[in-house]
Amino acid sequence: MGDIGNKHKKMQLFEKICDVYGEEIKRFIYALTRNDPFASEEIFQNAMVGALKDLYYLRDSSKMKAWILAIAKAESKRYYAEKQKKNNYEYYMFLETDLNQNAHMYDFTKSIEDRDYIKALIECLKGAEKQLCILYYYYGLTFKEIASILGLNYNTIRSLHFRGIAKLRKKLVEFGRS
């Protein structure tokens, strides 16, 4: 009987988490899918069904949000792995950027305290660079995780990051905020 009560409590908590964090989870998935609404909706549904199906295996209910985000991330990887198999994409390799040459670019976000200004700067970026900055700075994913999710080479992700940071730095200089 205690097992059924525990399952019922987890189900109630799951419903509450979905109500409270549902939009945030959707935004997270939307960022992972390169702003593809069809893919994000499919991944969201599959992630929620998977989370509901595996709810019994969740050990610590206080970590449910992180658990659902991890399921969404795994579902995103699965979705793009299937898509890659179907379409057999060819990815272009970008020139590798020397870390030492661009080491000064890491610090610029620390000098800006206005989060809205950073959001506006990131909005100036296009495509993969914008998505990469969102996943890296807002969701705290590593380059390795991002490369895996997007199905790109680690060095490509690193190059995109440096190029995006260089563009953001240039915008900062243009606006006189460096």
pLDDT tens digits, one per residue of 68-90: 888 888 888 888 777 665 544 33
For the chain, give the longest Cα–Cα distance: 66
pLDDT at residue 138 tops 80: no
Q: What is the pLDDT of residue 19?
A: 86
- The parent domain of residue 49 ranges over 2-87
CA 24 remoteness from chain centre: 11
Q: Which residue has the higher pLDDT, 62 or 113?
A: 62
CATH at residue 133:
1.10.10.10
pLDDT at residue 129 tops 60: yes
The HSE-up count of residue 178 (CA atoms within 13 Å, CB side) is 15
- The model's confidence at residue 176, banded by pLDDT at 50, 70 and 90, is low
pLDDT at residue 97 tops 80: no
Instruction: Based on the fold, state whether residues 150 and 107 are members of the same structural domain.
Output: yes
